[in-house]
Amino acid sequence: MPNVRETKAADIMHKGVETISSGATVAEALRKMKQLKVSSLIVERRNKNDAYGILTKADIITKVIDAGPKRKNLSHTKVFQIMSKPLVTVSPGLAIKYCTRVMKKSG
C-alpha cells in the first residue's frame, strides 16, 4: 500500500457493495445485514431522478429502536423512511486527505 500521503480512495474502498430496495422493511434490512455480516446497505433509487441513500445499523438504532416515544415497528417501517440521503460519494482517484474533508463537511 502506498504511504498515507499517496493513498487514494480506491486503495481502501470496498468494491462489492450490498444494496437493498427502499421499499423493504427495516426488519428485512436487519436480516440482510446479519446474513451478509455488514453494518450498512446502499439503498437503491426509487426512480432515475432519485438519489441513492444508505442505511446503517446506527440509523436503525437511533431512528427506530432507541427513538423513545417515537419508536417504530421494525416490520412496518420502510427503509426509505429512516435512511440517510443523499449518499455522499467520492471518486476512487481522490486522495484520502480530501475524502476526509468531503465526509466531514457532509456530516
Is-contact 8 93, C-beta < 8 A? yes
**pLDDT, position 86:** 87
Report, as an integer, the average pLDDT of 7-30.
Answer: 92
**Sheet of 19-20: strands edge to edge?**
19-20, 40-43, 53-56
Q: CA 79 to CA 33: how far, in whole Å?
A: 13
Amino acid residing at 64 = V
pTM of the model: 0.80
Q: CA 74 to CA 88: how far, in whole Å?
A: 26
Match 480506491 to its residue by C-alpha cell.
Answer: 10
Report, as an integer, the average pLDDT of 101-106.
Answer: 90
Q: Is the pLDDT of residue 1 over 70?
A: no
Chain segment 63-88, per-residue pLDDT in tens: 988 877 777 888 999 999 999 988 88
Q: CA 70 to CA 60: how far, in whole Å?
A: 13
Q: Is the pLDDT of residue 2 over 60?
A: no
Q: CA 52 to CA 97: how far, in whole Å?
A: 24
| Exposure string over 59-90, b if 16+ CB within 10 A, otherwise e | bbeebbeeeeeeebebeebbbbebbbeeeeeb
Q: Is the pLDDT of residue 22 over 60?
A: yes
